């Protein structure tokens, strides 16, 4: 099933801005980390269920309880990770993005260049378009994988992210979700390849290349693995871009929960 994700420009801005809010949790995390340290730093964010964390100097009237703070952090992460998923899983999310566009595998570059020079570039274009369409379809599956990682995040994880460099969130998700993304993406890539006849296109391209004078035998490439790996890499490139923007411009508070926690 093709995942259709469409947003108007205002919705897109809201998703991007909300992602920025996780880094406004600085005033509350020390208290959360201290509370979590009694369990060896392994308490999950979703396990914090009681107690109060006073709002910074504003008195008991605006006091924040731990569940509210945790909900705010998780909401920011949930909504924030949606932005890269939405942008990469839409039509042309990979194909039209030069930064993550999936090109012919490096091992096949001699073949691709030769075919283009011989006036057979349409074969190469068809192969590359198919690879990017498979990536766009698979990318939508990342949402649940990211959400699962958020739900398993410990208080110590959150504090480490906050103190980390400008891609600490991206690193956290890469370390904890790469294998899960691989498992979810590969069957979708394989299905899309079958639907689009990518194996046939690949075979026809290599046959045409081998028929050309002085052509070397092309290197065989596992397209399933290649497309799956490139899809995951592209997703994390977009996530890292978003995180860097967020750390430089933490501005919007667009829901009541987030205004209460981060205001």
CA torsion sign for 72, 252, 234, 171 is negative
Predicted confidence (pLDDT) per residue in 165-197, tens digit: 878 888 999 999 999 999 999 999 999 898 888
pLDDT above 70 coverage of the chain, percent: 64
Task: Answer yes or no: is pLDDT of 37 > 60.
Answer: no
Task: Answer yes or no: is pLDDT of 29 > 80.
Answer: no
Query: How buried is residue 242: exposed, middle or buried, by Cβ count under 10 Å (0-12/13-18/19+)?
Result: buried
pLDDT number for residue 161? 74
Q: Give the distance from CA 25 to its chain's centroid.
A: 22
Give dist(CA 163, CA 41) in Å, integer. 16
pLDDT number for residue 212? 84
Contact 45, 68 (CB under 8 A): no
Q: Which residue has the higher pLDDT, 229 or 18?
A: 229
Give dist(CA 118, CA 211) in Å, integer. 11
Angle (CA) 214-220-225 rounded to 5° is 150
Q: Where are the domains of the chain?
A: 9-262
Q: What is the mean pLDDT of the chain?
A: 75
Predicted confidence (pLDDT) per residue in 47-100, tens digit: 543 344 444 444 444 555 556 656 666 776 777 788 899 999 999 999 999 999
Q: Which residue has the higher pLDDT, 164 or 61?
A: 164
Q: What is the mean pLDDT of residues 219-239?
A: 93
Lowest pLDDT segment from 117-126, 157-166, 235-244: 157-166
Task: Determine how many CB atoms are found less than 10 A away from the CB of residue 75.
Answer: 18
pLDDT number for residue 163? 72
- Residue 211 in tokens: 């028929």
pLDDT above 90 coverage of the chain, percent: 34
């Amino acid at each position: 099933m093709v995942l259709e994700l469409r947003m108007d420009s205002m919705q897109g801005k809201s998703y991007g801005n909300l992602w920025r809010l996780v880094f406004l949790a600085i005033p509350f995390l020390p208290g959360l980390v201290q509370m979590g340290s009694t369990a060896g730093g392994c308490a999950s964010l979703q396990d914090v269920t009681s107690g109060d964390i006073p709002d910074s100097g504003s008195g008991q009237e605006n006091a924040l309880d731990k569940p509210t703070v945790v909900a705010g952090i998780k909401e920011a992460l949930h909504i924030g990770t949606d932005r890269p998923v939405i942008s990469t899983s839409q039509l042309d999310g990979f194909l039209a993005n030069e930064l993550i566009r999936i090109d012919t595998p490096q091992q096949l570059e001699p073949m691709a260049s030769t075919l283009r020079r011989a006036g057979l570039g349409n074969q190469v274009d068809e192969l590359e378009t198919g690879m990017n369409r498979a990536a766009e379809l698979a990318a939508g599956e990342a949402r649940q994988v990211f959400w699962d990682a958020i739900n398993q995040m410990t208080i110590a994880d959150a504090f480490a992210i906050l103190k980390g460099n400008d891609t600490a969130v991206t690193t956290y998700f890469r370390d904890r979700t790469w294998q899960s993304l691989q498992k979810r993406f590969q069957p979708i890539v394989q299905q899309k390849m079958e639907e689009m006849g990518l194996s046939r296109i690949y075979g026809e391209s290599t046959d045409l290349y081998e028929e050309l004078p002085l052509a070397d035998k092309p290197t065989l490439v596992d397209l399933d693995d290649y497309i799956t790996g490139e899809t995951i890499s592209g997703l994390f490139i977009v996530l890292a871009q978003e995180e860097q923007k967020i750390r430089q411009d933490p501005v919007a508070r667009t829901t009541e929960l987030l205004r209460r926690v981060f205001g």
